[in-house]
Structure 1
């Protein structure tokens, strides 16, 4: 699968968030603030996972339909990937 620049940029923003959390920890910021930023990072990662899986699923479904293949297993695999990521 080819990953577009949008998803790479999204992951770079997440990387920046995590670096910010480390800085907060080094500055001994309040626990609640650190946890809030970590939760925001986790949510951003979850959204990135969703985008990657859905984009891949869409590509695979289109390809399978063009070939006249069944797509049921593709959807199951995509759901399993999302469940496994939690």
Structure 2
């Protein structure tokens, strides 16, 4: 939001129509960190993000996982290196654990 004309004072429309896909994801992650819940389910949290942003976001997701359950659904192999457990699914069937 800091890059928008009104910066942090930017008012978002319903569903954040003026934001890109990556910007929407970042706003959602920020909200999740500001208003924590016991469980966080992240569906492709790094999709639409550039490599530099992923390098910033991944440590924040890992920090989040220190205090609550974080479930990540992703094709991104990057999460394989930091996950406590990995379950591979194929059309709802568990392929490996």
Answer 1 or 2: higher relative contact order, Cα 8 Å, separation at least 6: 1
**Structure with greater strand share of residues:** 2
**Structure with greater helix share of residues:** 1
TM-score, length-scaled by structure 2: 0.27
Larger Rg: 1
TM-score, length-scaled by structure 1: 0.30
